Amino acid sequence: MQPKLIIHGGAGSSLKGKGGLAVVREALHGIVAAVYDDLLQGAAAAAAVVKGCELLEDHPRFNAGTGSVLQSDGQVRMSAALMDGTAQRFSGVINVMRVQHPIQLAQTLQTESDRVLSDQGAAELLRELNTPIYNPLTDLRLNEWLAERKGDFDKTMAGVIAEQELGAESEAGRGTIGVVVLDQAGRIAAGTSTGGKGFERIGRVSDSAMPAGNYATPQAGVSCTGIGEDIIDECLAAKIVIRVTDGMSLADAIAKSMAEASQNKRDLGAISLAADGAIAWGKTSEVLLAAYHDGHAIGDTLEWTGPELVGHIAP
Ligand code: GLY
């Protein structure tokens, strides 16, 4: 069957913190093209998801891998998950440090009996695998963290700092990357990776390495972005996928789930695919940085700023 692919580089209120429309479009379209080539060569869904996530993790503007935001103590801790829809098997890492591609750890854990590892366990796994130590910190993220820290200090001292002055880093905090694939054999997989919210407490757990943020069955797959707590409260990825698995169309499932999220005043977005070839996306935030290949051409959601909560391409 014709493969399908959708990826995202986060959600937020503008593209400013990501370098602008042209930069984001070039990055997302390039990654869609590279992964879609693999799918045309017969790549399996899970392998294509891992490749897409690695490319997104390598792009310094997206909040995952290189370019991850810093937590409250100035450290980068990353989380990632891979879900093979055909096997209906989830694996992931939570708050892992000093690694270039957290998604590769999630991939390794697919075949283990202990499939979700947090900080110490993930570090141990890195050592076992002899994975080279890698520093994902960028100057941009360090400067954002320093500015926000100074902002907090100024606010405490003077109580007068404007919220807008902290705009760029709060954008990054809603960032995540994700990939959902339907391969030639009709298999679905989903992957999600993130540096988290930024400035969070040590030990805070992201939705990205939970089925709330990344889920798939043989019928559908979803990757989420946005404020992790909002995504967890909606159990968004699992909810959309289960609605489709129970017989609802993907377009209806995402529309119903996004309407609920909007009513609950959540700040999030999601990308999704179904086994029948439908592609859909949704957001309650202002923008969703997603791009897709529908089997004919590459498209994206970058200029979609209207009031609609969802968009979709029929099978
Ligand atoms: N959605 C990413 C996070 O909140 O950690």
Q: What percent of the chain has pLDDT over 90?
A: 86
- The rounded Å distance from CA 226 to ligand 1 centre is 6
CB of residue 176 inside a 6 A radius of ligand 1: yes
- Indicate which residue's Cα is closest to atom 4 of ligand 1: 228
Q: What share of the chain is helix, strand, coil (3-state, %, to 5)?
A: 40, 25, 40
279 confidence band (pLDDT: 50, 70, 90): very high
Residue 130: what pLDDT? 97
Is beta strand 78-84 parallel, antiparallel or unpaired with respect to 4-12? unpaired
Indicate whether 174 pLDDT > 70: no
Mean pLDDT (whole number) for 150-175: 48
Predicted confidence at residue 254, as pLDDT, reads: 98
**CA 80 to centroid of ligand 1, rounded, Å:** 10
Give the 3-state secondary structure of residue 15. Answer: coil
Q: pLDDT value at position 172?
A: 55
Query: Residue 11: is its pLDDT beyond 50?
Result: yes
Q: Which ligand 1 atom sits closest to the C-alpha of 200?
A: 5
Report whether pLDDT(165) > 60. Answer: no
Q: What confidence score (pLDDT) does residue 129 get?
A: 97
| pLDDT confidence of residue 306 | 80
| Residue 312 CB partners (closer than 8 Å, separation 6+) | 250, 251, 254, 278, 279, 280, 281
Relative to the CA of 228, which ligand 1 atom is closest? 4
Q: What is the average pLDDT across 169-186? A: 81
Per the prediction, the chain carries an average pLDDT of: 92
Task: Name the CATH topology of 4-313.
Answer: Glutamine Phosphoribosylpyrophosphate, subunit 1, domain 1 (3.60.20)
**168 has pLDDT over 70:** no
For residue 200 and ligand 1, the question of a CB distance below 6 A is answered with: no
**72 alpha carbon – ligand 1 mean position (Å):** 14
Active site residues: 176
Residue 223 C-alpha to ligand 1 middle, in angstroms? 11
- Checking if the pLDDT of 153 tops 80, the result is no
- In the chain, where the domains are located: 4-313
Mean pLDDT along residues 116-122? 97
Q: 101: which 2 tokens?
A: 């591609």
Kindly state if the Cβ of 85 falls inside 6 Å of ligand 1.
no
The answer, yes or no, to whether residue 161 has pLDDT greater than 50, is no
Q: Whose C-alpha lies nearest to ligand 1, atom 1?
A: 228
The predicted model scores a pTM of: 0.93
